[in-house]
Amino acid sequence: MLAVAHGSRDARHGESVEALLAQVREQRPGLRVETAFLDHCGPTTARALHGLVRDGYQHVKVVPLLLNTAYHVRQDIPAAVLAAHEGLPRRWRSSVPRPTVAEPLGPHPLLLAGLERRLREAGVWPGDESVAVVLGWAGSSDQLAAAAVEELAGYWQRSGWERVESAPAVGDLAGDAVRELRRGGARRVVVAPYFLAPGMLADRIRDSALRAGVDVVAEELGNAPEVAATVLARFDGSVATCRLVEAA
């Protein structure tokens, strides 16, 4: 497996990715798992692929460590994989198939289980009908990505929460969502960060929500066992076209 993450100048990002992949290795002993990043961090996709091929691995599957289907999944990762394969020495390129690219991690029901784990750790019991949830996410101009997060929020709300509202990391929208839920009568409002790792955008949502008086902000998904299980599900090819209703 070659797991490709976005990358960030924030050291917490790389640390979280490595902790997640350590959990993946623990769940699947014997599976070779390597990391690559699109930007800011190393190694690159090309360097990681070259290392795997040099070590004798001819069939590599790329798993995007991203929570939504947007530009990075549809364009950047396939382009990086193609360039990495074309950059192999000729003696390798002719015998090594181009790596296949799995679906991104989200949306997937296992990720909701990971979000609920983080809320439990923060003292919030899943499905508590007195609790309204702000699902904080990175945000995207991609309509498909935004629709997928809205679908995720709707699906999660039907599991028992009073209400689930999504809030992208734009301006003070997380705080606005907290205030709106309060005005709607929510007795308790919590934030569930839909992020693999802490970073600038997750921090923006946390700060905005805290200024608005949110009761709890959970930790990012990170190395939750459910996230590692999602990585392996994508590697194995399960839920190839993820629709939450079908996958439940």
165-208 residue pLDDT tens? 999 999 999 999 999 999 999 999 999 999 999 999 999 999 99
Instruction: Cis check for the bond before 64: say yes or no (omega within 30 of 0).
Output: no
d(Cα 160, Cα 151) in Å, to the nearest integer? 15
pLDDT in tens, 22-71: 999 999 999 999 999 998 888 999 999 999 999 999 999 999 999 987 66
Strand partners, 35: 3
Percent of the chain having pLDDT more than 70? 94
**Sign of the C-alpha dihedral computed for residues 102, 104, 105 and 107 taken in this order:** negative
**By CB neighbour count within 10 A (0-12 exposed, 13-18 middle, 19+ buried), where does 13 fall?**
buried
What's the rounded mean pLDDT across residues 139-168? 91
Contact 38, 80 (CB under 8 A): yes
Q: What is the mean pLDDT of the chain?
A: 91
pLDDT at residue 91, rounded to an integer: 86
What's the rounded mean pLDDT across residues 70-94? 86
pLDDT at residue 75, rounded to an integer: 79
Q: How confident is the model at residue 127 (pLDDT cuts 50, 70, 90)?
A: confident
Written as six digits, the tokens of 4 are 């490709």
Written as six digits, the tokens of 30 are 């014997």
The more confidently predicted of residues 237 and 48 is 48
pLDDT at residue 196, rounded to an integer: 96
CA 8, 134, 132 angle in degrees (round to 5)?
155
Element (H, E) at 22: helix 11-27
Written as six digits, the tokens of 19 are 């902790």
DSSP one-letter code for 98? P
| Nearest by Cα to 164 from 219, 200, 198, 126 | 126
Contact 24, 61 (CB under 8 A): no
What's the rounded mean pLDDT across residues 126-135? 94
pLDDT at residue 46, rounded to an integer: 96
pTM for this predicted structure: 0.90
- β-bridge pairing 100-101 and 131-137: unpaired
Contact 197, 17 (CB under 8 A): yes
Q: Which of 9-23, 48-62, 230-244 has the lowest mean pLDDT?
A: 230-244
Q: How confident is the model at residue 7 (pLDDT cuts 50, 70, 90)?
A: confident
Residue at token pair 């924030």: 10
pLDDT at residue 141, rounded to an integer: 84
| Nearest by Cα to 142 from 71, 37, 247, 48 | 71
Q: Distances in Å between the alpha carbon of 186 and those of 101, 117, 161, 213, 218?
A: 42, 22, 11, 13, 18
Q: How confident is the model at residue 72 (pLDDT cuts 50, 70, 90)?
A: low
